[in-house]
Chains A and B, each alone.
Chain A
Amino acid sequence: MSWITNFFTSSVGKKVIMSITGIFLCTFLAAHMSGNFLLLKNDGGQAFNEYAKFMSTFPLIRVLSIVTFIGLLFHAVDGIWLVLQNRKARPVKYHSFKGGANSSWTSRNMGLLGVIILFFLIVHLKSFWFEMKFGTIQYVEYGGVKYKDLYSIVVSAFSQWWYVLLYIICLIALSLHLMHGFQSAFQTLGLNHKKYTPIIKGVGLAFSILVPLGFAIQPIYVLLKSMNVF
């Protein structure tokens, strides 16, 4: 094997892949979350549909979305590989294992949380990305220009309470995944420092609460609006 394959198949190399793809996916989450706040604009969905068109046609964003898909694929496949390998490292389990005495629940269940998030992503992509790209989507016109009406699809999906509930449960899983993953990514890359590690941990905690919270506000807002609460 060459030094490159040696590196990426070593236990640290596999974690480096998790770390780099993880940090990249965090930047994606932040961008995706902030852009989608256009759903809350009271204009019948014009701003959101214009934004959706821009995101699905602008070349740089197209390239970035492909990179995001590849990053996600690497993160998921490598994560599953790590879980399987790590299970093999302990073939006989303990009768009594007090993990809570020495580590957080989230840090010990990153694989489980990851699978929940992956399940969510499949549902999420089927509902919106697939519908936008391959579905029978209606068109709307703003100032003589035709736009795919993704807004109506989003609104009809988020008007179902159980769908919103599913979102919130998955966002809690995402929050827990980030609470450990964000700071862990830096530790894996060896970025540990007396001055900066507390800052990284603080930013990580804020990120893992604020980003899923931002995502959660959107379907809750749409649901409440559809129920004529305001």
Chain B
Amino acid sequence: MKLTLKVWRQKNSKTRGRMETYPIDGIDEDMSFLEMIDVLNQNLIKEKKDPVAFDHDCREGICGMCSMFINGEPHGPEKGVTTCQLHMRSFKDGDTIVIEPWRAEAFPVIKDLVVDRSAFDTIIQAGGYISVNTGNAMEANAIPVDKSIANEAMNAAICIGCGACVAACKNSSAMLFLSAKVSHLNMLPQGEVEGKRRVLKMMKAHDEAGFGSCTNTGACSAECPKEISLSNIARLNRAYIAASLTSEESI
């Protein structure tokens, strides 16, 4: 395959970046997208140029590190996959592929395609945990959890925190991420205890980080590599409204 890549190049967070065009040849359609970038970087190194910096780790779709905005969509055109699981067979010979970093006030570019996603850590630190040590795994039937509730909580817990929801959202809102974290903890008995405090604190951290608000476009859920449902955002809204009205604490 012969392709034209348009890649965002930015030296560091202080310099202004720009799009650079790189022709690339000899790409196999069975290569993953990141392997294609590896080939590009190999070429750049041979030409004594600075290779493109990009985030990646497990390359099997579970770590949430890869974060490329490909042809106008986070993680590219395929549904339910991360960039590392995207293969070159999803493109045609001769295609031009535009590759950009996530764009959000809360996700500043560090270099090229690498953005600082520590705003997500700040949200988690605000309440995305259980305060007590829950100890060893106990007898499974000691705390009954309905299977459908457990399924919903697990469907939310599957969030890998990659930030595609923020990247896809026209408002750079992190509501899908936040709602997944709140849902997975608040729906289960161990997390439910601190539910009100959690939702109030995490929402505050979300807003302070500079993320936008939700317009319910559904773009986040459509682009989420883990296909997390928009119903989590409704659950978050419900929990936030209820906690604001009923919590004795002022957060």
Contacts and interface: CB of A to CB of B under 8 A. Distances in A.
Interface residues of B, number: 51
Interface string B224-235: 000000110111
Interface stretch (B56-64, B120-128, B133-141, B169-177): B169-177
B238 A190 contact: yes
A101 interface: yes
Contact of B203 (A12, A88, A102, A104): A12
Contacts of B109: 92
A224 interface: no
Contacts of B222: 101-103
Contact of B215 (A91, A96, A110, A191): A110
B250 interface: yes
Interface stretch (A26-34, A133-141, A181-189): A181-189
Nearest to B210: A89
Given A16-B241, A98-B73, A190-B235, A90 B223 contact: no
Interface of chain B, main secondary structure: mixed
Contacts of A98: 71-73
A187 B216 contact: yes
Contact of B234 (A14, A82, A191): A191
A195 interface: no
A5 to B, nearest CB: 11
Interface string A1-43: 0110011001111111000000000000000000000000000
Contacts of B69: 94
Given A16-B241, A103-B222, A91 B105 contact: yes
Contacts of A190: 234-239, 241
B230 to A, nearest CB: 7
B231 A192 contact: yes
Contacts of A108: 170, 215, 217, 219
Interface in A180-210: 180, 183-184, 187-192
A183 B216 CA distance: 9
A15 B233 CA distance: 12
A59 interface: no
B204 interface: yes
A98 B75 CA distance: 12
Interface of A: 2-3, 6-7, 10-16, 82, 85-86, 88-99, 101-104, 107-108, 110, 180, 183-184, 187-192
13 contacts: A2-B250, A6-B250, A6-B251, A86-B171, A89-B210, A90-B170, A90-B172, A94-B69, A94-B103, A95-B6, A99-B170, A108-B219, A192-B230
Interface of B: 6, 8, 19, 69, 71-73, 77, 98, 100, 103-106, 109, 168, 170-173, 175, 203-204, 206-207, 210-219, 222-223, 230-231, 233-241, 244, 250-251
